[in-house]
A = this chain, B = another copy of it.
Amino acid sequence: MTEVKFKRLALIGIGLIGSSIARAVRQHQLAEEIVCAARTADSRRVAKELGIVDAAFESPIDAVKGADLVIFCTPIGTYGKLAEQTAPALEKGTIVTDVGSVKSAVIEAIGPHMPKDVDFIPGHPVAGTEKSGPAAGFAELFINRWQILTPCGQASDAAVEKLTAFWTAMGSKVEIMDAEHHDLVLAITSHIPHLIAYNIVGTADDLEDVTQSEVIKYSAGGFRDFTRIAASDPTMWRDVFLHNKDAVLEMLGRFTEDLTALQRAIRRDDGETLFNIFSRTRAIRRQIIDAGQETPEPDFGRVHTADDTSTKS
């Protein structure tokens, strides 16, 4: 593995992802100094109290000064302005990357502002939990998860190699991909799942003839599985859908077509069609488990014990 060490890492935003990077970088000693910028005094205070950064600034310009690695870790909608603001303060040879769940729109937002002597490499760690904020992060978040880099002609090969080594050192598997293809792949593996999870939770909340208390009580029938990703950060996800519109609408169209076919099969008592569709899906889960992207235990490994309150603590 390539030895990798940065002088000063600047994290713009210190939420779940930013704070997980800070912890992993510290654990693996990948930077001599870690600083962050955060909009709220509360986030800056928490980040400092947790000891995951050496300094926390309100201004992103102060954070990027002297940094040789800058990572944008805020919602995608903020990237354009942040890039414009910080660009004049970026040092020659600095690597600039991000963690946004969409890549084409990020290239459009950040790319034009980047000085020629800076290496800009868009990135996306396919990892996360439903929690938000600096206290929610943990150093192990990226282990065995994919880090997708979508270089856009604004970085040297050496810089891409160094950033690859950085993510590899935190436990990630790194894949290089075209930004447009990334956005299509993530639309189906991440964006549509979040959209329909948010949607069903909303549908259930709006019913007149089923009470919210009933939805909660009987959620173990399947509904509760959807509430996890529907508890994700609303600002982040608003920005994902606004910035990956074409791919999301394309995949949503396919999802709806398929759902209409299922609806038709139910209406027509077509058990054979239902059985055939329901039989295809076990193999895919098996492969996800075999690929180390999911736990093989029933019920996600949720604990069932005599004094079970569905917690492990």
A140 in contact with B305 (CB, 8 Å): yes
Q: Say which one of A34-42, A53-61, A182-190 lies at the interface with B.
A: A182-190
Q: How many copies does the complex hold?
A: 2
A82 within 8 Å of B by Cβ?
no
B210 in contact with A200 (CB, 8 Å): no
A220 in contact with B310 (CB, 8 Å): no
A51 within 8 Å of B by Cβ?
no
B281 in contact with A222 (CB, 8 Å): no
A310 in contact with B294 (CB, 8 Å): yes
A226 within 8 Å of B by Cβ?
yes
A49 within 8 Å of B by Cβ?
no
Distance in angstroms between the alpha carbons of A206 and B262 in the assembled complex: 15
Q: Say which one of A5-13, A130-138, A151-159, A161-169 lies at the interface with B.
A: A130-138
Partner pick for A193 among B101, B226, B287, B301, CB 8 A cutoff: B226
Contacts of A227 in B (CB 8 A): 281, 284-285, 288, 294
Encoded as 1 (CB less than 8 Å from any B CB) or 0, chain A from 186 to 223 comes to 10111111111111111111110110101111111111
B193 in contact with A281 (CB, 8 Å): no
Which residues of chain A in 113-145 are interfacial with respect to chain B, using CB atoms and an 8 Å cutoff? Answer: 126-131, 136, 138, 140-141, 143-145
Partner pick for A225 among B221, B228, B234, B266, CB 8 A cutoff: B228
Q: Knowing A192-B200, A202-B277, A277-B198 touch, does A293 contact B216 (C-beta < 8 A)? A: yes
Contacts of A197 in B (CB 8 A): 222, 225, 281
**A262, A274, A278 — most chain B CB neighbours (10 Å):** A278
Partner pick for A203 among B188, B274, B298, B311, CB 8 A cutoff: B188
Q: Knowing A189-B221, A193-B226, A197-B222 touch, does A295 contact B288 (C-beta < 8 A)? A: no
B259 in contact with A218 (CB, 8 Å): no
Sample 19 A-B pairs with CB under 8 A, ordered by A number.
Answer: A126-B221, A130-B299, A143-B304, A188-B204, A188-B207, A188-B223, A190-B221, A192-B203, A198-B281, A199-B255, A202-B277, A203-B258, A212-B287, A230-B282, A234-B279, A237-B274, A238-B278, A292-B308, A295-B311
Q: A143-B305, A206-B258 are in contact. List 9 more A-B contacts (CB 8 A).
A: A189-B222, A190-B218, A202-B258, A203-B251, A207-B254, A227-B285, A230-B282, A234-B275, A300-B301
A binding-site residues for B, Cβ under 8 Å: 77, 101, 126-131, 136, 138, 140-141, 143-146, 148, 171, 175, 184-186, 188-207, 209-210, 212, 214-232, 234-235, 237-239, 241-242, 245, 248-249, 251-252, 254-256, 258-259, 262-263, 266-267, 269, 271, 274-275, 277-282, 284-285, 287-289, 291-306, 308-313
